[in-house]
Amino acid sequence: MGTAKSTHGGAGFGTAPVFFTAISTILGAILFLRFGYAVGSLGFWGAILIIVVGHLITFPTALAISEIATNTRVEGGGEYFIISRSFGLKIGSTIGIALYLSQAISVAFYIIAFTEAFEPLFNWCQNHFGFVLPRQAISIPALGLLALLILKKGAGMGVKALYVVVGILFLALLLFFLGKPIEAEEALRQPGNNFGFFNRENFFVVFAICFPAFTGMTAGVGLSGDLKNPGKSIPLGTLGGTAIGMLVYLAIVWKMSISASQADLTEHQLIMAHIALGGSIIIPLGLAASTISSALGSIMVAPRTLQALAFDKIIPFRKFNYLMSKGKGKTREPFNAAVVSFAIALIFVALGDVDAVAGIISMFFLITYGSLCLISFLNHFGAPPSYRPKFKSRWYFSLTGFLLSIWVMFMISPFYTILSMVIIVMLYLVIEYYNKEQKGLVNIFKGALFQLNRKLQVYMQKNQSDADAEEWRPAVVCISSHSFEREKPLDLMKWLSYKHGFGTYFHYIEGYYSKHTYTEARAIHKELIKLQNEEDNTLYIDTMISPSYTSAIAQVIQAPSISGMENNMVLFEYDKNNPEEIERILENIKLTKAGNFDVCIFAGSNSAIRFRNGIHVWIRPTDLLNTNLMILLGYIMMAHPDWHKGHIKIFSICSPGKREETKSELEERIATGRLPITLTNIEIIASGGNQTVSEIITTHSKQAALTIIGFRDEKIKHQGDTFFNSFSDIGDILFVNAAQSKEMK
Give the CA dihedral 10, 15, 17, 20, nearest 10 degrees. 170
| Short-list 323, 387, 309, 330, CA closest to 97 | 309
Helix (H, G, I), strand (E, B) or coil at 60: helix
Question: What local confidence, expressed as pLDDT, does residue 669 receive?
Answer: 72
| Short-list 612, 620, 632, CA closest to 706 | 612
**What pLDDT, in 10s, does the model give residues 120-139?**
777 778 787 777 777 778 88
The CA distance from 121 to 119, in Å, is 5
Where helices occur in 116-186 by DSSP H, the ranges are 119-129, 136-178
pLDDT (average), residues 717-743:
87
Q: What is the CA radius of gyration of the chain?
A: 36
* Alpha-carbon distance values, 652 to 420, 620, 699 (Å): 61, 6, 14
Beta partners for residue 650, in sequence order:
617, 682
User: Average pLDDT, whole number, for the chain?
Assistant: 80
The residue ranking higher by pLDDT, 384 or 522, is 522
**What pLDDT, in 10s, does the model give residues 214-253?**
877 766 665 656 677 777 777 888 888 888 889 999 999 9
* Alpha-carbon distance values, 392 to 14, 61, 79, 83 (Å): 22, 13, 18, 17
722 — pLDDT class (breaks 50, 70, 90): confident
Is-contact 512 552, C-beta < 8 A? no
The CA distance from 554 to 545, in Å, is 12
Domains of the chain: 8-88+155-290+352-442 (1.20.1740.10), 467-737 (3.40.50.12370)
Is-contact 366 408, C-beta < 8 A? yes
**What pLDDT, in 10s, does the model give residues 445-495?**
666 666 777 677 667 666 665 544 456 788 899 999 999 999 999 999 999
Q: Is the pLDDT of residue 434 over 80?
A: no
**What pLDDT, in 10s, does the model give residues 645-665?**
899 998 988 877 777 788 888
**What pLDDT, in 10s, does the model give residues 673-692?**
656 667 677 888 877 667 78
Q: Is the pLDDT of residue 707 over 80?
A: yes
The CA distance from 123 to 131, in Å, is 10
Q: What angle do CA 642, 643, 647 make, to 5 degrees?
A: 170
Question: What local confidence, expressed as pLDDT, does residue 1 receive?
Answer: 38
Question: What local confidence, expressed as pLDDT, does residue 417 receive?
Answer: 83
| Short-list 588, 139, 598, CA closest to 345 | 139
Residues recorded for the chain: 745
* Alpha-carbon distance values, 577 to 52, 63, 193, 534, 731 (Å): 75, 66, 94, 29, 11
The CA distance from 389 to 382, in Å, is 14
**What pLDDT, in 10s, does the model give residues 343-385?**
888 888 877 665 666 667 777 778 878 887 887 888 777 666 6
Question: What local confidence, expressed as pLDDT, does residue 481 receive?
Answer: 92
Q: Say how many C-beta atoms besides its own lie within 10 A of residue 440's C-beta.
A: 16
Helix (H, G, I), strand (E, B) or coil at 734: strand
* Alpha-carbon distance values, 10 to 106, 237, 343, 649 (Å): 26, 19, 27, 76
The residue ranking higher by pLDDT, 701 or 150, is 701
* Alpha-carbon distance values, 64 to 140, 236, 388 (Å): 37, 13, 13
DSSP letter at 213 equals G
pLDDT (average), residues 88-93:
76
Of the given ranges (51-55, 95-99, 161-165, 397-401), which has the lowest mean pLDDT? Answer: 161-165
Q: Is the pLDDT of residue 35 over 70?
A: yes
The identity of residue 363, as a single letter, is: M
Question: What local confidence, expressed as pLDDT, does residue 531 receive?
Answer: 81
7 — pLDDT class (breaks 50, 70, 90): very low
Is-contact 543 506, C-beta < 8 A? yes
Q: Is the pLDDT of residue 744 over 70?
A: no
